[in-house]
Structure 1
Amino acid sequence: MQQAAFTRGLIAESGGNSANISTSYATADRSRRQVLEAISEEHHKQWTPPPMWTLHWDSKLTPMLSNVHQLEERLTVLVGDAERLKLLGVPAYTKGTDEACGTIIARLTCKLLEWCCADQVVNMAFDTTASNTGHLTAACIAIQLSLGRPLLWSGCRHHIGEVLLSHIFTDLKVETSRSPEVTLFTRLRDNWNLVPHEYSGPLSCYIPGDAEPPFLGKLRAELTVCAAGVLDYKRGDYREFVQLCLVYLGAAGAAQTPVTFQRPGALHKARWMAKLLYTLKLALMEQHIVLLPQGTITTRQQVLKIWAFANFITHIYATWWLTCDTAVDAAWNDLTLYHHLYAYKSVDEGIAASAIKAMERHLWYLTGEMLPLALFSTKVPVGERRALADAILEHKPADLPLRAPQLRFGTEDWATSAAFPAGAVNVRAITVVNDCAERGVKLTSDFVAAARSEQHLQNVLQAVEHDRSKQPNLRCCKRKLNTDQD
């Protein structure tokens, strides 16, 4: 309707006769569908898959196209590497009691055949849920059976981090309510107007004590360097989280810069990012919250737990979370996190024990097949990489077609060989986080209401993805664009 009205106005303003052109709603809708179909088909024809991909998927309940008052499950299927992503489709399915969830997901990966990229998939990145990781009928097993070959398993590191964080938050008993939302954060949102939102003066930042273990200072320095390297390309909640961490730790320049706190949004317990953002805000605002009547936002017992949780986030969790998406560094980052958790026992034994327990329940995702990727990591010390290469050569099965004579040379000669740079390029096809599937789910949720049929929805999603890839800065403000260009 809006498009038809806009077309009539454009013709009239241009001096034309709108009576000579059909501008009805039906004509406009039909034309729009034809254009979308043409764009989708052309995009499909021109797309060429690279030699290696990672398969991503995630599902969500969305309104049905035929009845918006009923929900149906939709599976977002994507392939990608460290640099590129491609949405293959978002098919709908109905969960049945006589068909395993993994079998359903494997059947829906027929999108790989439609886009002629099934042979290029070498890795699976997925959320570590039972429907994906079961040993008999779950999705990972079913997908491998469907493709007829084994694949690498990459449990989403960010999803593991969510589990670890939720476990600590629960064990701390910061929130004991059984409400779907965290009532502590709800009180902050309801009383948001009682606390200042902009600060140009000192905040309730972290203050190192005289008896502080030396390794905490090193961890703060690592986070400051890491945050400076990622702050420019993080967006939304992720960018806000990095900024809050820097302010809380009193990083050079961050504490002196005026801070504006964004109003709390979604507070559901399943939204793990809320625990990070609002805990740091509560800790930073404490000097103003304490002036309010007791219990308005926080209680005395909660204040100490908030500070303990914020200290863990900024010293241990943040650096690992910001760097865990790199496949070649994944094994080293996970091992480093494990060491840091044990060292953190000297600071807060309860939080450290809770985190270690949560992590040890998910150690299965540290698969041995991912270890050889550490050969390409610049974080792993030279001696460790040499030992890893020796272990690979010693335990290599006889039927494994591994032709890598450079592994017998010194590590300083690897970069000059022809095979090593080629291997580094192939490694970029492996990703160890599933964030792109969540973005695909969000894309579907945003545009499902605009579709009138199943094929129309798929065409809309392909057209939107294609347009955003051509205009990646469309949503950036003018000031940000000018800064990037300078």
Structure 2
Amino acid sequence: MTSRLSAALDKCKVSDRDAVHLLTACVESLSLNPANYIINRTSIRNSRESIRKEITEKFRSDFVSLNVDFVIVHWDTKLLPGLTNQKKVSRLPVIVSTPNGEQLLGVPEIPSGTRSEISSAVYDSLEKWSLLDKVQGFVFDTTASNTGRLNGASTLLEQKLNRDIIYFACRHHVSELIIQAAFNEAKLYVSSGPIIPIFKRFQNSWNKIDKTKILVWNTNKNFEKIISPIREEIVSFCLKKITEDHPRDDYKELIELVIIILGETPPGGMKIRRPGACHQARWMAKCIYCLKIFLLRTELKIKKTEENAIVRISAFIVKNYIKYWFTVTNVSEAPFNDIHFIRTLNEYKSDEKKLQMQCAVFAIFDERISFDVRKKMADKLLKYQEQIELTPALEDEFLSGPKKLCLKLEDVDEFLNKELPVNLLSYKSYKIFKRFGISSEYLKMNPTTWNNNFAYQSAKRTIDSLQIVNDTAERGVKLMEDFNDKFTKNENQKQFLLQVIQKYRKTYEKCTRQVLSKPFED
């Protein structure tokens, strides 16, 4: 049994019993005598368990020996059946990301999923991998258990680490909350259950709908009025974005529908796919359903109030949301994008808007911002540097400020009239240079020369490599879901198994001859 064979059996979810049949048939197909080989369930199980442990220990040792400059830690929680019984337990995927990639640390079981247990489990995972002194940022979903100012898991973990940490509330999760607010405001449906009535009717009527009777952006006066000023800009953005690789098919489908609504033809043609699963938690599916119903609204019997709501939501998606969603992972562009998005959201009623103050400094690497503004940002950062060098004792005082800026609705206009993002900078902003080990020497130079400066280019690459969404932790959740009931009920073996699967998937990302010809280094 080789490491690669064992890992392949694990990845393909082949049980020890089935492996006996496969290996026996394989040996026979090679004109060899199976009786000359030890092929039985017990031997295979013992061998696979031993190999999993060896791979994991070497993998951990190799990662620690890399001595990375910093890591960003991601986590998420999921209720799953326990290994020894069907009682639900919380599982916590803990993953770190670096400029060179990401690494699963483990998916420990936590008894009740409390904030204290979450922070302790993340801390223990970091300690096991010798990464406590490398952590510079947290990425987490914006739930109360994570974000509580006094007892949130992020706050408790920061206290355990005993130093200032930058928070990256998952930008995808924040975006999901925004689109959910748009649905609530439009009042498309009133339902506390998982099923959305109008979407269910659309799904059930699909076979009777004439998919050629498509109505685009200028077939509704309200929609046309909203979209007309920015139509060409959105079309250009979507046609460029659709050529890129996307982690999920529904991302691409959303862009295709926007292109069709705007009267253009996507690369795959004017095709509207059959509606898939949809319930309250599937926010992307809800967006896709709304756009499809808008396009085919004359084919579905809907009330006038429903049509008006569909138009409002679809216009919001096309005008405001599509561009924001597909740029949330761009680190250096994030602060300016947020400011622009707040300007557009200011047209809609909302109780409160939030900005990550520590992240405002990333805008200095955003080359869409004028040289004059970036020069002002550099000058302000240099002043903070000078203050700290002259009075080091001030550092703790500067670090005690808030991590985020909360804006009430009545304060938004005043905020937007300020010089942004310059006014958002603080000492915490300056600290990113030390935090991520990047040079700040170019701040003394004219921004027009930065693109030719090696230190600036290196710093920009580092900042743009940061993962500020929690998709990696969600993949960890999916990994645990897929293998929760496979092969073993032993907790240690389960953790070894997850490491092996992740390594195998990294090594063989595609099922091509070229990729599969690579050795499985353990």
TM-score range, shorter chain: 0.7 to 0.9
Contact 1:77 1:109 in 2 (8 A): no
Deviates more, 1:374-383 or 1:326-335: 374-383
Amino acid at match of 2:46: R
Amino acid at match of 1:248: I
Match of 1:348 in 2: none
Contact 1:174 1:305 in 2 (8 A): yes
Match of 1:413 in 2: 449
| Whole-angstrom distance in 2 between the partners of 1:282 and 1:472 | 36
Match of 1:130 in 2: 144
Choose from 54, 78, 87 the match for 1:70. Answer: 87
Q: Does 1:244 align with 2:262?
A: no
Choose from 453, 469, 473 the match for 1:433. Answer: 469
Match of 1:58 in 2: 76
Residues 466, 279 of structure 1: alpha-carbon distance in 2 compared, 3 angstrom cutoff: same
Residues 13, 430 of structure 1: alpha-carbon distance in 2 compared, 3 angstrom cutoff: closer
Choose from 309, 312, 315 the match for 1:308. Answer: 312
Amino acid at match of 1:416: N
Match of 2:398 in 1: none
| Whole-angstrom distance in 1 between the partners of 2:513 and 2:87 | 37
Deviates more, 1:214-223 or 1:22-31: 214-223
Deviation at 1:225, TM superposition (A): 3.2
Q: Does 1:331 align with 2:335?
A: yes
Residues 83, 263 of structure 1: alpha-carbon distance in 2 compared, 3 angstrom cutoff: farther
Report 1:135-174 matches (<5 A): 135-174=149-188
Residues 36, 221 of structure 1: alpha-carbon distance in 2 compared, 3 angstrom cutoff: farther
Residues 299, 189 of structure 1: alpha-carbon distance in 2 compared, 3 angstrom cutoff: same
Choose from 266, 269, 278 the match for 2:280. Answer: 269
Secondary structure of the 2:285 match is helix
Choose from 499, 503, 515 the match for 1:462. Answer: 499
Secondary structure of the 2:215 match is coil
| Whole-angstrom distance in 1 between the partners of 2:220 and 2:294 | 17
Contact 1:75 1:105 in 2 (8 A): no
Secondary structure of the 2:133 match is helix
Match of 2:107 in 1: 90
Residues 429, 13 of structure 1: alpha-carbon distance in 2 compared, 3 angstrom cutoff: closer
Match of 1:195 in 2: 209
Deviates more, 1:395-404 or 1:280-289: 395-404
Instruction: Deviation per CA, 1:114-160: give whole Å up to 9, x if none.
Output: 22222222111111111111111211111112222111111111111
Secondary structure of the 1:36 match is helix
Deviation at 1:54, TM superposition (A): 1.3
Match of 2:190 in 1: 176
Residues 159, 477 of structure 1: alpha-carbon distance in 2 compared, 3 angstrom cutoff: farther
Contact 2:147 2:154 in 1 (8 A): yes
Amino acid at match of 2:266: A
| Whole-angstrom distance in 1 between the partners of 2:267 and 2:105 | 45
Residues 6, 241 of structure 1: alpha-carbon distance in 2 compared, 3 angstrom cutoff: same
Deviation at 1:415, TM superposition (A): 3.0
| Whole-angstrom distance in 2 between the partners of 1:39 and 1:321 | 38
Instruction: Deviation per CA, 1:447-470: give whole Å up to 9, x if none.
Output: 111141212221221111111111
Contact 1:56 1:79 in 2 (8 A): yes
Q: Does 1:15 align with 2:5?
A: no
| Whole-angstrom distance in 1 between the partners of 2:83 and 2:54 | 22
Any gaps of 5 or more consecutive residues in structure 1? 346-351, 479-486
Q: Which structure 1 residue ranges, 4+ long, deviate > 6 Å from structure 2? A: 208-215
Residues 256, 18 of structure 1: alpha-carbon distance in 2 compared, 3 angstrom cutoff: closer
Contact 1:55 1:78 in 2 (8 A): yes
Residues 161, 13 of structure 1: alpha-carbon distance in 2 compared, 3 angstrom cutoff: same
| Whole-angstrom distance in 1 between the partners of 2:324 and 2:240 | 14
Equivalent residue pairs, number: 446
| Whole-angstrom distance in 2 between the partners of 1:434 and 1:325 | 10
Match of 1:280 in 2: 291
Contact 2:223 2:312 in 1 (8 A): no
Contact 2:217 2:223 in 1 (8 A): no
Deviation at 1:46, TM superposition (A): 2.4
Deviation at 1:391, TM superposition (A): 2.5
Normalised by the size of structure 2, how large is the TM-score? 0.79
| Whole-angstrom distance in 2 between the partners of 1:78 and 1:328 | 23
Deviation at 1:81, TM superposition (A): 3.9
Contact 1:54 1:429 in 2 (8 A): no
Deviation at 1:217, TM superposition (A): 4.2
Residues 255, 408 of structure 1: alpha-carbon distance in 2 compared, 3 angstrom cutoff: closer
Choose from 325, 339, 346 the match for 1:321. Answer: 325
Contact 2:451 2:457 in 1 (8 A): yes
Instruction: Deviation per CA, 1:301-343: give whole Å up to 9, x if none.
Output: 212211211111011101001001111111100001112233x
Amino acid at match of 2:141: D
| Whole-angstrom distance in 2 between the partners of 1:221 and 1:117 | 48
| Whole-angstrom distance in 2 between the partners of 1:146 and 1:395 | 27
Choose from 219, 226, 237 the match for 1:226. Answer: 237
Residues 315, 448 of structure 1: alpha-carbon distance in 2 compared, 3 angstrom cutoff: same
Report 1:320-399 matches (<5 A): 320-342=324-346, 345=347, 352-353=348-349, 357=350, 360-361=352-353, 363=354, 366-396=355-385, 397-398=387-388, 399=392
Deviation at 1:104, TM superposition (A): 3.2
Secondary structure of the 1:109 match is helix
Residues 250, 81 of structure 1: alpha-carbon distance in 2 compared, 3 angstrom cutoff: farther
Instruction: Deviation per CA, 1:258-280: give whole Å up to 9, x if none.
Output: 31403311x22122112111111
Contact 1:102 1:132 in 2 (8 A): no
Instruction: Deviation per CA, 1:162-195: give whole Å up to 9, x if none.
Output: 1111111112110112212222222223333222
Match of 1:36 in 2: 52
Contact 1:202 1:255 in 2 (8 A): no
Secondary structure of the 1:153 match is strand
| Whole-angstrom distance in 1 between the partners of 2:485 and 2:217 | 46
Match of 2:218 in 1: 207
| Whole-angstrom distance in 1 between the partners of 2:485 and 2:150 | 37
Contact 1:53 1:80 in 2 (8 A): yes
Amino acid at match of 1:52: F
Match of 1:483 in 2: none
Any gaps of 5 or more consecutive residues in structure 2? 1-16, 396-430, 434-438, 515-522
Amino acid at match of 1:278: Y
| Whole-angstrom distance in 2 between the partners of 1:62 and 1:91 | 12
Amino acid at match of 1:60: K
| Whole-angstrom distance in 1 between the partners of 2:237 and 2:222 | 26
Residues 141, 382 of structure 1: alpha-carbon distance in 2 compared, 3 angstrom cutoff: same
Contact 1:49 1:117 in 2 (8 A): no
Contact 1:80 1:429 in 2 (8 A): no
Deviation at 1:288, TM superposition (A): 2.4
